[in-house]
Amino acid sequence: MKLLGLRLCEHDSNISYFDGSSLHYYKSERKYQVKHHAIHDLIKWRDEINDLWNLDYKEIDEIGIVIDPWRHNLPTDNENFFPAIEGYEHLPSDCKVYRIDHHYAHALSCFPIEKKKSNIQVVIDGFGDENIAWTVFKNDKILKQGFVKENGSLGVAMCKFGEELGIKFSHDLDIAGKLMGLQSYGNIDHEFKKKIIDKYTLYDVSKFFHSADDWVKHLNDDLLLKLKPLDWIRTIHDATSEILIKFFEDITDKNYNEYISYSGGVALNVIWNTALKSKFKNLVIPPHCNDEGLSLGAIEYLRIKNKLKPFNLDEFPFCQLDEKPKDNITDNTIKEIASLLSKGNIVATYQGNGEIGPRALGNRSILMDPTIAGAKEKVNSIKKRENYRPFGCSILKEFALDYFNVGFQNDHMLYIGEVKDPNLKSITHIDGTCRFQTIDKSNKYFYNLIKEFYKLSGCPILLNTSFNINGKPILSSIEDAIKFYNESKIDYLVVGDKIYNKKNK
C-alpha cells in the first residue's frame, strides 16, 4: 500500500511517502533554499513526488493532507471538523484524500520519538485550522482548546512583540526564535511577574501579552516606560514558563510522571521547554515540532486508519531527503578534523542526510572550539547573525552533568542548561545558559569526532551551529556547501571523507 502525507500552503511545505515498506521524508525549503518555502498550488506536489521517487500520483492508494484552504482560495466551510474530512474533494487526485486536522497532525507526528504512545498530547502554535491556538488531546479526543480571537495565541504574540521591538527578519516565523534570545537581555521584574502569574492562565494570552496598561500602572513613570521595554518582555516571557507549568499541571492532575507529547511551533522555545521538562520527566518533544512535521502526522493518520504496523523513519533524525555524500567519513579523517578544531580552526561538516527540524545536530554543522576567546564573534561574522543571539553546542552525553545543571538527555537541542564552566563564554548566553545537544554512541561519527577533540583539548564540547547563512535554510547540496565555504571565512570543509582546504590553494 502506497500512502502520501502532504503539508501544502503558506509555509514549511513537506511531503512524507510510505512506499509499502519504507517511510521517506522531504521538506521543500532545503531543495529550493528558500526558508519556510511553500508549495503554492495544488498540482505542484505531483511533480515533486515524481522528481523525488519517480512516483506517478496515480500509483498512490491514499493521501492525507494538512492544508490552509484560504491560501488556495478554497472554501473554509468545514473548519470544525475532527479528526479528518474523508473524501476531501479540493485536491486533484485519483485516490481518496483525507484532510486532517492541523493540530491532530501535529500530535500524531510525534511517533518517531515516542517509546510508548503518550497519554496526553499538547499542541501550541500560532494557529492551526482557522481560529485554534492550542489543543490538548487525550485518548485521541479533544480535551481542551484555546482560540486566537477569544484567548490569544502565544505564537502570534511572540511574533508581534518581537516586531515591535525592532527585530529584523526575512520571514515573520523567525521572529519568535529571535525574541527568545533577545528577551534575556532584559531584567525580570519579580513583583510584576507575580501579578501576571496570579492573575492569568493560558486562556488569557491576549491579556497578559497585551498587559501594557498593567505595566504603565506598575512603573508609574513615563521615562521608565521608555527605558524598559526589554524588562517587560523578559518578565512576561519568564512568567509564561510558570503559566505553562500550571496549565500542564491542570491537564495532568499534577501527575508529574504522565507521558506527554508536546508539539507545535511554540515547542521550539527551549526556555519554556526546559521549565516543563524539569517538572514532567516523561515529556517528549520532536525536533520537527513545527509545521515541518505535519506530513508525518498525516501519514501516521493513514497508517492507523489502515491498521498497518508502526512505521520507522530510517536514520531519524537524519532523514531529510537531500544530497548525501558518496562516501562515509573514516576514523583517520575524524582525527584530522579534531586536530584542526583543537588548533582553533572553524570547520563546516556535511555528512549523510540532513537533520529533520530547524536545529543542526552534526550532519550540517559549523563547528569550533567553544573555549576560544571571540569564537562567537568569528562564527557570527560568517553567518551574518545578530550578535544578541546565542550559539548552541554539542557535548558527549557522559559529561553533560559536569558542564550543565540539567538532569535529562537533550538529543535534539530542545532544552537549555545553566553553564558551569566559565571558560565556555562563546556558548554561554547573557542569562548564563546554553542550548546544548547530548551526543551518545548512536550518533557514531559525531560522537567519535567530539571524543577525539576531547583527547586533544580536554574539552568534550564543540560549538555547533547550523550550516547556513542568516535567513536561509540549512544547506542540502554538496555544490552549495562548497560554494558557501569558498565565499566564507570558514577554514575547512569536510564532505563525507574529503577535507577541503582553501589555505593550500
Per residue in 21-51, pLDDT tens? 999 999 999 999 999 999 988 999 999 999 9
Distance CA 497, CA 502 (A): 17
Q: Which amino acid is at 305?
A: K
Q: Grid coordinates in use for 268?
A: 521550539
3-state class (DSSP) for residue 10: coil
Give me the sign of the Cα torsion angle 109, 115, 120, 123.
Answer: negative
pLDDT band at 502 (very low <50, low <70, confident <90, very high): confident
In a domain, 61, yes or no: yes
Q: What is the pLDDT of residue 212?
A: 62
pLDDT in tens, 456-490: 999 999 999 999 999 999 999 999 999 999 999 99
| Distance of alpha carbon 500 from alpha carbon 26, whole angstroms | 28
Q: Is residue 222 included in any domain, yes or no?
A: yes
Among 222, 252, 284, the domain boundary falls at 284
Interacting residues of 115 by C-beta distance below 8 A, sequence separation 6+: none
CA 448, CA 161: separation in Å to the nearest integer?
42
| 395-411 tens-digit pLDDT | 999 999 999 998 788 99
The verdict on 35 and 170 lying in the same domain is: no
CATH number at residue 375: 3.90.870.20
Considering 284, 318, 341, which residue would you say is the last residue of a domain?
A: 284
> Do residues 362 and 486 lie in contact, with contact meaning Cβ atoms separated by under 8 Å?
no
Assess whether 298 and 269 both reside in one domain: no
Domain edge (last residue) among 254, 284, 314: 284
| Within-domain flag for 56 | yes
Domain that holds residue 158: 123-284
Same domain? For 271 and 367 the reply is no
The domain tally of the chain equals: 3
> Do 145 and 91 fall into the same domain?
no
Q: How far is C-alpha 112 from the geometric centre of its chain's CA atoms?
A: 15
Flag whether pLDDT at 303 surpasses 90. Answer: yes
Q: How many helices (H) and strands (E) does the chain have?
A: 18, 19
* Inter-axis angle of helices 229-252 and 190-199, nearest 10: 40
Of the pLDDT bands very low, low, confident and very high (cuts 50, 70, 90), residue 61 is very high
State the pLDDT at residue 395.
Answer: 98
pLDDT band at 356 (very low <50, low <70, confident <90, very high): very high
- Looking at the fold, whether 354 and 495 belong to one and the same domain comes out as yes
Q: Say yes or no: 258 and 350 in one domain.
A: no
pLDDT at position 209: 82
Residues 459 and 346 placed together within one structural domain of the fold: yes
By DSSP bridging, strand 498-501 and strand 364-368 are: unpaired
For residue 491, give every residue at least 6 positions away whose Cβ sits within 8 Å of its Cβ, in sequence order, or none.
340, 345, 346, 347, 502, 503
Residues 6+ positions from 412 with CB-CB distance below 8 Å: 285, 286, 287, 317, 357, 359, 361, 437
Judged against a pLDDT cut of 70, whether residue 505 lies above it is answered with no
Q: Find all residues with CB under 8 Å of 359, minimum gap 6, and list them.
A: 287, 392, 412, 413, 414, 437, 466
Structural domain contains residue 378: yes
What would the DSSP string read from start to end of 422-480? TT-GGG--TTSEEEEEEE-TTSHHHHHHHHHHHHHHS--EEEEEESS-TTSPPP--HHH
For residues 57 and 479, give the distance between their C-alpha atoms in angstroms, rounded to a whole number: 30
Task: For residues 317 and 398, give the distance between their C-alpha atoms in angstroms, rounded to a whole number.
Answer: 21
Residue 234 CA neighbour count, 13 Å, CB half: 16
Of 233, 232, 235, 239, which is closest to residue 272 (Cα–Cα)? 239
Q: Which of 102, 3, 15, 95 is nearest to 319 (CA)?
A: 15
Rounded Cα gap, residues 369 and 432, in angstroms: 18
Query: Which residues, including other chains, have CB under 8 Å from residue 322's CB and lie 6 or more apart?
Result: 30, 31, 353, 354, 476, 477
**46 in a structural domain:** yes
In this predicted structure, which of 66-75, 189-198, 294-303, 389-398 has the lowest mean pLDDT?
66-75
97 and 147 both lie in a single domain: no
Residues 416 and 456 grouped into a single domain? yes
CATH code for position 275: 3.30.420.40
Contacts of 254 (CB under 8 A, 6+ apart): none
Quick one: 54 and 130 in the same domain? no
Question: CA–CA separation, 333 vs 500, rounded Å?
Answer: 12
Average pLDDT estimate for 121-149:
95
Residue 133 shares a structural domain with residue 203: yes
Whether 267 and 301 map to the same domain: the answer is no
Query: pLDDT-derived band of residue 215, with 50, 70 and 90 as boundaries?
Result: confident
Query: What H or E segment, with its residue span, contains residue 192?
Result: helix 190-199
326 domain residue, yes or no: no
Does residue 310 fall inside a structural domain?
A: no
Strand, helix or coil for residue 66: strand
Bridge-based pairing of strands 62-66 and 3-7 is: parallel
Residue 314 lies inside a defined structural domain of this protein: no
What the block records as the C-alpha cell of 263 is 508539539
pLDDT band for position 72 (50/70/90)?
Answer: confident
Quick one: average pLDDT of 339-356?
A: 98
